C-alpha cells in the first residue's frame, strides 16, 4: 500500500490480510486528498459488500474520519459528495460505470476470478482516468486452479518490453504466515490436512495456504480445453440446425441465457450465444428470451429450460402462458450426472465454445468443495459462482446431437457418379439375392437330411 508505483499487484494466500489492507488504502486516499475519489472493484456487488464494506465502516468509525455511509449505493460520502465507491463486475457493461471519473485510487480484489474484460477495465478505462490526480491501481488476489489470465500475467508475465518508467507492474507477494494477527494458522493447517487427507504438496493447499500458482485441473468442475473445445465459427453443414436455450436466474448476481446449436448430421454441440445482465428484472429477462426464441424460429428451437427454484417456476409459467414459449424446469437433482455428461462431451471434442466467451472463462474457476463433498455426492464450491455455466448445463441436457447421423451424399442424376452409384447398387442387390438363396438352399438340404 505504501508502494509509490502507479501499478502494483499483490499475489497472496487466503487470510493474508490483503483485503483489509486495501480497505485502509482506499479510504485514506480521499481523506488526505478529498478531490480524488477511490474505487473498490471485485467479482460481484454482493461480494464487495461482504468483503470490504464492514472494514471501511470500522476504519471510518475507529479513526473518526467523518465519512457518511450509504449502504444502498455502497458509497462513503463526505461534504455531500461520494468519495469511496464499491463496484461489482458481473458483466462487461459494468466497467462503463468507472469511465468518466478521475480516480485517485482503485483496488481490484479477487482479480484472478474476474472475466477477460479485466484487461479492458484496467488498460482502456482506468489508465486514462488516473491522469487527473496522478492515481494508482492495485490488483490483489489468490492463485486460481489454472495459471492463466490478466492477473497472472501482471504478477508473473514478461515485462522486458515495457520501457516507460513506472509503467511496469510492481509485484508483491505474502501469505497467511506473514499475518501477525493469525498466530493459529499452523495448527489449523495441520487439522485441515488431517481432515481432508492431503499433504502440504497438494495443489489446493499450495494455492490457498502458500499463494503458489499450481495447475490443479482435478479441482475444477468442468474440463474445458481451450485448444480442443474452442471454435471461431459454426462448421458448414447442409443438415438442419436446431437450438436449445438455457436460462439461469441470478440471485444477487447476473441473469444468464445460453444458446446451444446442433446439426442433424454432426455429433457435436456449439455454444453460440451468451446473454448476461446484472440486476435485471423479470421483464428484461423475458424480453431477451423472446427475442432469441423468435429470431431462431419456434420450429428450430428444440427446447427452453431453466432453473425452477425461487422465481423460476413463475417465470416458466409466464413464458408458457403469455408468450407461448415451451419452457420447462431443469432437473437439478441430477446436476452431477449432467456435469459428467458435459465433461465427457468436452473430453471427446463434442462440445465447443468461443475461447473469449464468459463460459470459457468461468469454467477455469468453478471448483468442487472438497470439504463438503463426500464419496457419494460432490458439492460445487460457493467461492466462485457462475450463472452462465449453469445455463449451459441446463441447455446441454436437451441437445440431441448424439442422435445425429452422417449425411449421405446423393450424386446428381445423369452424372458419371450417379451411373456408378446405380451400378454399385445393382451389384449389391445381386450379392444380397445370392446370399439369401444360398441360405435357403442350405436350410432345405438340412431339412431333407433330417427327414
Q: Is the pLDDT of residue 165 over 70?
A: no
Q: Is the pLDDT of residue 254 over 80?
A: no
3-class secondary structure, 12: strand
3-class secondary structure, 375: coil
Average pLDDT, the chain: 88
Alpha helix locations (H) across 33-111? 45-51, 53-62
Name the nearest CA neighbour of 148 among 226, 218, 208: 226
- Contact predicate 381/317, CB 8 Å: no
Calpha distance 125→117 (Å, rounded):
11
pLDDT given for residue 407 in this prediction: 56
pLDDT given for residue 279 in this prediction: 65
Calpha distance 169→397 (Å, rounded):
44
Judged by average pLDDT, the poorest of 35-49, 373-387, 405-419 is 405-419
pLDDT band at 232 (very low <50, low <70, confident <90, very high): very high
Query: What mean pLDDT is predicted for residues 129-139?
Result: 96
CATH code for residues 7-182: 3.40.50.300
Judged by average pLDDT, the poorest of 299-303, 309-313, 353-357, 418-422 is 418-422
Q: Is the pLDDT of residue 14 over 70?
A: yes
Largest CA distance in the chain: 114
Q: Is the pLDDT of residue 168 over 90?
A: no
Q: Which three cell numbers stand for residue 356?
A: 473469449
Structure confidence by residue, pLDDT tens digits, 180-217? 999 999 999 999 999 888 899 999 899 999 999 998 88
pLDDT given for residue 77 in this prediction: 96
Q: Burial letters for 104-127: b for 16+ Cβ neighbours within 10 Å, e otherwise?
A: bbbbbbbbbbbbebbeebbeebbe
Q: Is the pLDDT of residue 46 over 80?
A: yes
Ranges of beta strands (E only) in 185-253 are 241-248
Query: What mean pLDDT is predicted for residues 116-135?
Result: 94
Ranges of beta strands (E only) in 89-158 are 105-108, 136-141
Structure confidence by residue, pLDDT tens digits, 384-422? 888 899 999 999 998 887 776 665 555 667 677 767 767
pLDDT given for residue 449 in this prediction: 63
Whats the size of the chain, residue-wise?
451
Q: Are strands 269-278 and 351-353 parallel, antiparallel or unpaired?
A: parallel
End-to-end Cα distance, the chain = 103
Query: What mean pLDDT is predicted for residues 338-362?
Result: 93
Decide which of 3.40.50.300, 3.40.640.10, 3.30.420.280, 3.30.70.890 is the CATH code for 241-403. 3.30.420.280
pLDDT band at 334 (very low <50, low <70, confident <90, very high): confident
Query: What mean pLDDT is predicted for residues 29-51?
Result: 94
For the chain, percent of residues with pLDDT exceeding 90: 59
Q: Burial letters for 386-407: b for 16+ Cβ neighbours within 10 Å, e otherwise?
A: bbbbbbbbbbbbbbebeebeee
**Spans of all domains in the chain:** 7-182, 241-403, 413-451
Amino acid at each position: 500500500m505504501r508502494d509509490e508505483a502507479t501499478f502494483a499487484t499483490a499475489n497472496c494466500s487466503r487470510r493474508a490480510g490483503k483485503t483489509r489492507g486495501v480497505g485502509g488504502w482506499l479510504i485514506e486516499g480521499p481523506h488526505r486528498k478529498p478531490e480524488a475519489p477511490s474505487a473498490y472493484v471485485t467479482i460481484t456487488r454482493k461480494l464487495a459488500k461482504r468483503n470490504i464494506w464492514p472494514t471501511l465502516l470500522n476504519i471510518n468509525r475507529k479513526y473518526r474520519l467523518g465519512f457518511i455511509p450509504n449502504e444502498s449505493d455502497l458509497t462513503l460520502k463526505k461534504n455531500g459528495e461520494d468519495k469511496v465507491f464499491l463496484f461489482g463486475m458481473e458483466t462487461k457493461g459494468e466497467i462503463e460505470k468507472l469511465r468518466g471519473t478521475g480516480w485517485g485510487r482503485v483496488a481490484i480484489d479477487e482479480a484472478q476470478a474476474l472475466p477477460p474484460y479485466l484487461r479492458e477495465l484496467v488498460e482502456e478505462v482506468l489508465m486514462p482516468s488516473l491522469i487527473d490526480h496522478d492515481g494508482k491501481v492495485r490488483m490483489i488476489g489468490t492463485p486460481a486452479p489454472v495459471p492463466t489470465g490478466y492477473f497472472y500475467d501482471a504478477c508473473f508475465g514478461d515485462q522486458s518490453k515495457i520501457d516507460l518508467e513506472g509503467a511496469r507492474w510492481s509485484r508483491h507477494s505474502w501469505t497467511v504466515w506473514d499475518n501477525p494477527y493469525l498466530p493459529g494458522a499452523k495448527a489449523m493447517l495441520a487439522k485441515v490436512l488431517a481432515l481432508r487427507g492431503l499433504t502440504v504438496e497438494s495443489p489446493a493447499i499450495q494455492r490457498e495456504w502458500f499463494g503458489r500458482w499450481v495447475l490443479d485441473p482435478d479441482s475444477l468442475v468442468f474440463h474445458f480445453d481451450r485448444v480442443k473445445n474452442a471454435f471461431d465459427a459454426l462448421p458448414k453443414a447442409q443438415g438442419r440446425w436446431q437450438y436449445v436455450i438455457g436460462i439461469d436466474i441470478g440471485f444477487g448476481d447476473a441473469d444468464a441465457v445460453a444458446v446451444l446449436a446442433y446439426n442433424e448430421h454432426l455429433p457435436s454441440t456449439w455454444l453460440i450465444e451468451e446473454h448476461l445482465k446484472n440486476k435485471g428484472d423479470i421483464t428484461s429477462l423475458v424480453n431477451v428470451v423472446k427475442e432469441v426464441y423468435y429470431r431462431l424460429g419456434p420450429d428450430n428451437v428444440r427446447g427452453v429450460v431453466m432453473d425452477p427454484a425461487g422465481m423460476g417456476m413463475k417465470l416458466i409459467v409466464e413464458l408458457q402462458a403469455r408468450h407461448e414459449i415451451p419452457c420447462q424446469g431443469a432437473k437439478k437433482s441430477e446436476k452431477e450426472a449432467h456435469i459428467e455428461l458435459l465433461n465427457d462431451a468436452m473430453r471427446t471434442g463434442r462440445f465447443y465454445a468461443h475461447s473469449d466467451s464468459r463460459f470459457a472463462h468461468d469454467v477455469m474457476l468453478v471448483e468442487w468443495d472438497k470439504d463438503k463433498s463426500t464419496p457419494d455426492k460432490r458439492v460445487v464450491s460457493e467461492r466462485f459462482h457462475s450463472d452462465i455455466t449453469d445455463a449451459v448445463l441446463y441447455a446441454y441436457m436437451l441437445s440431441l446431437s448424439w442422435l445425429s447421423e452422417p449425411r449421405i451424399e446423393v450424386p446428381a442424376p445423369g452424372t458419371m457418379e450417379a451411373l456408378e452409384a446405380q451400378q454399385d447398387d445393382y451389384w449389391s442387390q445381386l450379392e444380397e439375392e445370392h446370399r439369401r438363396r444360398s441360405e435357403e438352399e442350405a436350410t432345405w438340404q438340412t431339412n431333407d437330411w433330417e427327414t
